[in-house]
Structures are given as structure tokens and as C-alpha cells.
Amino acid sequence: MNPSNKQQGFSLLEVLVAFAILALSIGILLKIFSGGANTALLAEEYTAAVQIAESLMTKEGVETPLQIGEITGIEDAKYSWRVTVSPYRFSPGEVDTVNLPAQLMKVDVLVRWGQERRELHLSTLKVFTNPAINAPENKLTNDSESDPGN
């Protein structure tokens, strides 16, 4: 055999192994990128749910009166929510609540979304002033009645 006739190059087996490694690498990279996209979508949905819950929590007692009860609704045809307002219960002996001019109200907000029924729950306490307790006992008189010059 003449050494000058020897051909240089890759064998068929080497080329097939290289393609298999390339295909496996591309498959792993695609899985990583699709997982990142799913995580970004979930983070966007979660952020929207937090914004809805915080907005509802802020409105309670400011834009709408702070009343005991429950209200529900749907936001953007995707997020269903429920706001529950209830009196905050102190532990026995913690505070004498009989003569307080204000009462703490617990505001719970639950937001649900998605096929997996993901949910977010936020709670806060708000001060509710009782107008009956805060009203002055003596009514103010009309200025014309109290004016000694008339």
C-alpha cells in the first residue's frame, strides 16, 4: 500500500456520533429556553395578581366604605378575586376592646387565575373608627343662638 493513496477524513461512524451529540445539545438548549419562557410568563401573571390584590386592599376603606362582608369580581377576564372584611379578634386579655374609639378590621384578598387555579392571598389590618363612639356628646349650637349681640 502506498502511503500517498491514503485518504484523510472522518468515517461515517464519527459523523453520526457528532450529529447525535449536536442533536442532544440542541434539545437541551431548547428545553432550557422554553422553561425560561414559561417561568417569565408565570412571573408576569403573578405580578399582575399581586397588583390586583394590592389595589383591592388599598381601595377598601378609602374608595369604598369599610364594611363587614365579602365582595367578589373578575379582572381582565382572567383573574377572579374575593375581598373579605371581618373584625380582627384580639387574644383574650390582650386589649380591652370595650372602650376603644376605633376597631381593627382584617381585610383578606384572594386572587385566583389560570388552568392550574393558582392563587395569591394577602391580608392586612385597617382601622375602622366607630362614629357613634367618636361623636361629641354635646351638639354645637347655631352661631346666631350663641351670639350675645342678637
- Please state, in angstroms and rounded to a whole number, the distance separating the CA atoms of residues 29 and 42: 20
Taking only the tens place, the pLDDT of each residue in 72-129 is: 999 988 999 999 999 888 776 666 666 677 788 999 999 999 888 899 999 999 988 7
Residue type, 144: S
Look at residue 138 in the predicted model and tell me its pLDDT.
42
pLDDT at position 5 is 62
Q: How far is CA 24 from CA 20, 33, 38, 61, in A?
A: 6, 14, 21, 58
Query: Hunting for cell 399582575 — which residue is that?
Result: 48
pLDDT at 95: 67
Contact 72, 80 (CB under 8 A): yes
Q: What phi and psi, each to the nearest 5 degrees, are found at residue 95?
A: -145, 140
Nearest-angstrom CA–CA distance, 70 and 50: 19
pLDDT tens-digit map of 53-66: 999 999 988 888 88
| pLDDT tens figures, 18-37 | 999 999 999 998 888 877 88
Is the pTM value of this prediction over 0.75?
no
Amino acid 144: pLDDT: 46
Are the C-beta atoms of 109 and 80 separated by less than 8 Å? no
